[in-house]
């Protein structure tokens, strides 16, 4: 968990390198289009047939009363909007790279002069403005207003949910678009503004929850795509979400949230999955700080004790950023709230409660090289793993039941803790979780494809290997030649850009210039490489299988342990003020019926050995009753996964009459929020 902040820093630095090459772009009459929001004019790019529409608002600015609130409808206009400037970055820390930049540059094995020039060039860059008013996206297209619509790829940037924006130069490239897709890059609220929960904010929310605002922003961006992308030449019925690191976390979070159902058709997760994030809105999840506890610390840091939502929103953004508590970044991630996330992502994938779609995911062979020197802990589950001896073996067996000897031997932890720990860190945080999600998605009935990326910088003096985020320029065709660009690199870029866009078009990465890539079937990986003497792209089976199998026991054990804590009530259940004493606390799953009565939708629930309960659930404004079809009509995007209906209400023990009510549908009633 403690590595998250460092992941964010690395992504921010990688993107800073890409900012060195900026192109002059001017408004173009060929990019003047009519959209549902109003007329928009985009700018030229280095390819005269491709245009960039910058800084398009996909929601109302989340300021004032809209801070720490779900995103609201996007603005509209009547005069032509000049889409020639990127929108503000969302609020995020600055000047916190802590030596990563130096390690990143020097690890490429470049000459002293090149190192000097790169550092000077990056230092000269002026960062884009930062503001709470930051919910903007950018559309890069070669098909503005085109009658034949092209597949859409929506990029969710990385940065640990603390840093980043959609305007980084690594993402602003024409490579994907030249293959016949429309590229959308988005911002979303970060850190305290995107993921902080607090009881006062929940009390002011119509759904009784707080936190996960960054996730809601991402969903709002997908809703904008559904409504607007056709005007830019994109097909709203063929949308692929993709992202790296925290962007990949976000992809798996979209797959686990019922609110995102139906808003995307395919998914790509590069080096990340949120299956090991165990945060709760209220109550610590096996060491993950709860949303409420950190929110209360933030309030105390700005001098507020038991504040209202209005008092929290009145504090300036700069004061909040300046006074963030220590380790706040560890809490500002997705949390189980019962609404955006009925379950933590890991539980959702394990149980098959996901938006299963064609899915491509993978990781890099040396993910840990940037992080381990500053944080030499191989396991995400232990902040201070002993470096050898019986203490290390005992600790490993506690985390990974029965796997201590296997892990110590496979990674050589007793012989070289640094080298072995570096590799283990990358395999656990990334390899275990991406493979876990691929297997779960396939089990849910959708095709899954795995990749492994081992390309290294071309210099013989390089020390980074295939480091975290190294694949990004090969996906976007945005490599920086000054860092080293070999013939292998150019050829590998063509293969990967083609595979990614093939997948966006059809849900299958196979096609011309891409070697045959079978579905994962739990073991098949496409191995991308470069500057290693190996094939540039070749299918291999069971890459690092023994290592990943041993490490996965830790993830499975933690998910089971969290289950146990939830069931016995170690973690509070935040959505109910009252609970009938006769309702069993452990067994919260019941089969019942949804019933429509007047302006209320009721749930009639029957558990084994129990009386029937009637529970107020969704009001008529949330769902509609079709008296002709005798069934409920759900607004798009509000249907629960697997017919699981989540609700917020006080439970009444009184048996109520349901005369005159119509049976809506049978449902699984889940009391576990």
Q: Which residues contact 289 (CB under 8 A, 6 or more apart)?
A: 279, 327, 330, 331
**pLDDT of the residue at 214:** 98
* Average pLDDT of the segment spanning 316-342: 94
**Helical axes 389-399 vs 404-411, angle rounded to 10°:** 120
457 in a structural domain? no
- Is the model's pLDDT at 499 over the cut of 80? yes
Task: Find the angle CA(24)-CA(25)-CA(30) to the nearest 5 degrees.
Answer: 150
The DSSP code sequence of 93-125 is --S--TTHHHHHHHTT---HHHHHHHHHHHHTP
Backbone angles phi, psi at 422, to 5 degrees: -60, -45
453 in a structural domain? no
Give 61-109 pLDDT, tens digit per residue.
999 999 999 999 999 999 999 999 999 999 998 765 556 667 777 888 8
Report the domain count for the chain. Answer: 2
**pLDDT of the residue at 577:** 29
What is the number of other CB atoms lying within 10 angstroms of the CB of residue 248?
A: 28
What is the number of other CB atoms lying within 10 angstroms of the CB of residue 577?
A: 10
CA 494: distance to chain centroid?
A: 26
**pLDDT of the residue at 582:** 34
Show the domain range for 298: 4-351
User: Measuring CA to CA, which residue among 649, 642, 658 is closest to residue 622?
Assistant: 649
Give 363-390 pLDDT, tens digit per residue.
999 999 988 888 899 999 998 999 999 9
**pLDDT of the residue at 17:** 53
**pLDDT of the residue at 639:** 36
**pLDDT of the residue at 620:** 38
Give 505-531 pLDDT, tens digit per residue.
999 999 988 999 999 998 999 999 999
- Is the model's pLDDT at 295 over the cut of 50? yes
**pLDDT of the residue at 522:** 82
Give 607-636 pLDDT, tens digit per residue.
433 333 333 333 334 444 444 544 444 444
- Is the model's pLDDT at 572 over the cut of 50? no
**pLDDT of the residue at 286:** 79
49 in a structural domain? yes
Q: What is the Cα–Cα distance from 128 to 137, expressed in whole angstroms?
A: 14
Q: What is the Cα–Cα distance from 239 to 224, expressed in whole angstroms?
A: 12
Q: What are the CA-CA distances from residue 264 to residues 327, 449, 615 (Å)?
A: 33, 17, 33
Kind and range of the H or E element at 347?
Answer: helix 345-351
Mean pLDDT of the chain: 83
**pLDDT of the residue at 111:** 78
Domain end, chosen from 328, 351, 374, is at: 351
b/e per residue, 388-412, with b = 16+ CB within 10 A?
Answer: eeeebbebbeebbeebbebbbebbe
**pLDDT of the residue at 419:** 96
* Average pLDDT of the segment spanning 657-662: 35
Binning pLDDT at 50, 70 and 90, where does residue 49 land? very high
474 in a structural domain? no
* Average pLDDT of the segment spanning 270-285: 91
The DSSP code sequence of 485-507 is --HHHHHHHHHHHHHHHHHHHHS
283 in a structural domain? yes
Task: Find the angle CA(318)-CA(321)-CA(322) to the nearest 5 degrees.
Answer: 85
Contact 614, 575 (CB under 8 A): no
Coil, helix or strand at residue 364: strand
460 in a structural domain? no
What is the number of other CB atoms lying within 10 angstroms of the CB of residue 621?
A: 8
Q: 3-state secondary structure string, 175-232?
A: CCHHHCCEEEEECCCCHHHHHCCCHHHHHHCCCCCCCCHHHHHHHHHHHHHHHHHHHH
Q: What is the Cα–Cα distance from 612 to 82, expressed in whole angstroms?
A: 60
User: Measuring CA to CA, which residue among 338, 591, 548 is closest to residue 434?
Assistant: 548
Domain end, chosen from 351, 386, 402, is at: 351
* Average pLDDT of the segment spanning 543-557: 98
b/e per residue, 174-191, with b = 16+ CB within 10 A?
Answer: bbbbebebbbbbbbbbbb
Contact 620, 600 (CB under 8 A): yes
- Is the model's pLDDT at 314 over the cut of 70? yes
- Is the model's pLDDT at 601 over the cut of 90? no
User: Measuring CA to CA, which residue among 164, 13, 159 is closest to residue 99?
Assistant: 13
Q: What are the CA-CA distances from residue 401 to residues 337, 394, 406, 420, 557 (Å)?
A: 30, 10, 11, 19, 8
- Is the model's pLDDT at 157 over the cut of 90? yes
* Average pLDDT of the segment spanning 475-479: 96
**pLDDT of the residue at 124:** 58
**pLDDT of the residue at 165:** 94
Contact 537, 492 (CB under 8 A): yes
Q: Which residues contact 631 (CB under 8 A, 6 or more apart)?
A: 625, 664, 665
User: Measuring CA to CA, which residue among 479, 434, 454, 466 is closest to residue 271?
Assistant: 434
Q: What is the Cα–Cα distance from 612 to 592, expressed in whole angstroms?
A: 9
Contact 32, 41 (CB under 8 A): yes
Domain at 140, CATH number: 3.40.50.1820
Binning pLDDT at 50, 70 and 90, where does residue 357 land? very high
* Residue scoring higher pLDDT (5 or 643): 5
**pLDDT of the residue at 598:** 39
Contact 54, 172 (CB under 8 A): no
Contact 580, 457 (CB under 8 A): no
The pTM score is 0.84
Q: What is the Cα–Cα distance from 31 to 51, expressed in whole angstroms?
A: 7
* Average pLDDT of the segment spanning 252-277: 97
- Is the model's pLDDT at 667 over the cut of 70? no
- Is the model's pLDDT at 151 over the cut of 80? yes
Name the strands in the sheet holding 644-645, side by side, starting at the edge strand that comes first in the sequence.
612-619, 600-606, 589-597, 662-670, 644-645
Task: Find the angle CA(32)-CA(33)-CA(37) to the nearest 5 degrees.
Answer: 125
Bridge-partner residues for 27, per DSSP? Answer: 43
Task: Return the half-sphere exposure (C-beta side, CA atoms, 13 A cut-off) of residue 408.
Answer: 19
**pLDDT of the residue at 512:** 85
221 in a structural domain? yes
Q: What is the Cα–Cα distance from 423 to 550, expressed in whole angstroms?
A: 14
Coil, helix or strand at residue 18: helix
Domain end, chosen from 295, 318, 351, is at: 351
Give 438-474 pLDDT, tens digit per residue.
999 999 999 999 999 999 999 999 989 999 999 999 9
Would you name the residues annotated as active-site residues? Answer: 245
Q: What are the CA-CA distances from residue 266 to residues 141, 260, 576 (Å)?
A: 19, 12, 36
55 in a structural domain? yes
């Amino acid at each position: 968990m403690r590595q998250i902040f460092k992941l964010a820093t690395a992504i921010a630095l990688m993107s800073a390198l890409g900012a060195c090459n900026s192109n002059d772009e001017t408004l173009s009459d060929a990019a003047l289009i009519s959209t549902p929001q109003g007329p928009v004019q985009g700018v030229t790019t280095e390819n005269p047939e491709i245009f960039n529409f910058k800084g398009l608002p996909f929601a109302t600015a989340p300021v004032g009363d809209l801070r720490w609130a779900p995103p609201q409808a996007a603005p509209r206009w009547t005069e032509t909007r000049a889409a020639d400037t990127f929108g503000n970055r969302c609020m995020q820390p600055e000047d916190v790279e802590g030596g990563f930049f130096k390690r990143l540059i020097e690890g490429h094995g470049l000459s002293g002069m090149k190192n000097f020039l790169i550092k000077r060039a990056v230092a000269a860059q002026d960062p884009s403005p930062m503001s709470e008013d930051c919910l903007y996206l950018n559309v890069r297209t070669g098909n503005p207003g085109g009658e034949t619509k092209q597949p859409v790829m929506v990029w969710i940037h990385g940065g640990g949910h603390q840093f980043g924006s959609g305007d980084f130069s690594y993402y602003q490239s024409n490579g994907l678009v030249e293959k016949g897709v429309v590229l959308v890059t988005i911002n979303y609220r970060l850190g305290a503004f995107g993921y902080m929960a607090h009881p006062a904010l929940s009390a002011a929310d119509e759904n009784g929850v707080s936190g996960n605002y960054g996730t809601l922003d991402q969903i709002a961006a997908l809703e904008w795509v559904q409504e607007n992308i056709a005007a830019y030449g994109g097909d709203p019925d063929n949308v692929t979400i993709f992202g790296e690191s925290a962007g990949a976390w976000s992809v798996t979070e979209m797959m686990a949230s019922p609110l995102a159902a139906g808003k995307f058709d395919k998914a790509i997760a590069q080096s990340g999955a949120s299956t090991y994030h165990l945060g709760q809105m209220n109550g610590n999840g096996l060491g993950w700080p709860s949303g409420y506890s950190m929110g209360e610390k933030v309030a105390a840091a700005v001098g507020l004790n038991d504040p209202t939502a209005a008092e929290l929103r009145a504090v300036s953004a700069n004061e909040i950023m300046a006074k963030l508590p220590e380790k706040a970044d560890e809490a500002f991630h997705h949390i189980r709230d019962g609404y955006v996330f009925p379950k933590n992502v890991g539980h959702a994938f394990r149980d098959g409660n996901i938006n299963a779609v064609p899915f491509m995911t993978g990781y890099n062979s040396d993910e840990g090289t940037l992080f381990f020197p500053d944080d030499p802990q191989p396991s995400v589950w232990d902040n201070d793993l002993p470096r050898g001896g019986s203490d290390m073996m005992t600790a490993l067996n506690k985390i990974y039941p029965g796997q201590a000897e296997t892990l110590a031997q496979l990674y050589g932890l007793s012989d070289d803790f640094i080298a072995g720990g570096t590799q283990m860190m990358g395999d656990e945080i990334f390899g275990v979780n991406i493979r876990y999600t691929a297997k779960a998605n396939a089990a849910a009935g959708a095709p899954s494809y795995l990749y492994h990326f081992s390309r290294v910088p071309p210099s013989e003096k390089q020390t980074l290997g295939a480091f975290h985020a190294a694949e990004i320029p090969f996906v976007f065709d945005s490599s920086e030649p000054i860092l080293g660009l070999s013939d292998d690199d150019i050829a590998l870029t063509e293969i990967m850009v083609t595979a990614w866009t093939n997948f966006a078009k059809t849900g299958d990465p196979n096609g011309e210039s891409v070697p045959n890539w079978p579905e994962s079937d739990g073991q098949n990986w496409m191995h991308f490489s470069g500057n290693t003497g190996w094939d540039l792209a070749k299918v291999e089976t069971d890459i690092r299988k023994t290592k990943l199998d041993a490490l996965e026991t830790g993830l499975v054990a933690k998910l089971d342990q969290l289950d146990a804590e939830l069931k016995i009530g170690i973690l509070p259940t935040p959505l109910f003020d009252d609970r009938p004493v006769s309702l069993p606390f452990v067994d919260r799953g019941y089969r019942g019926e949804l019933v429509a009565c007047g302006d209320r939708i009721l749930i009639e629930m029957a558990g084994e050995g129990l009386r029937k309960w009637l529970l107020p659930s969704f009001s008529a404004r949330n769902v509609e009753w079709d008296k002709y079809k005798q069934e409920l009509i759900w607004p798009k995007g509000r249907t629960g996964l697997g017919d699981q209906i989540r609700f917020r209400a006080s439970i009444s023990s009184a048996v109520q009459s349901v005369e005159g009510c119509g049976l809506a549908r049978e449902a699984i009633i889940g009391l576990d929020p």
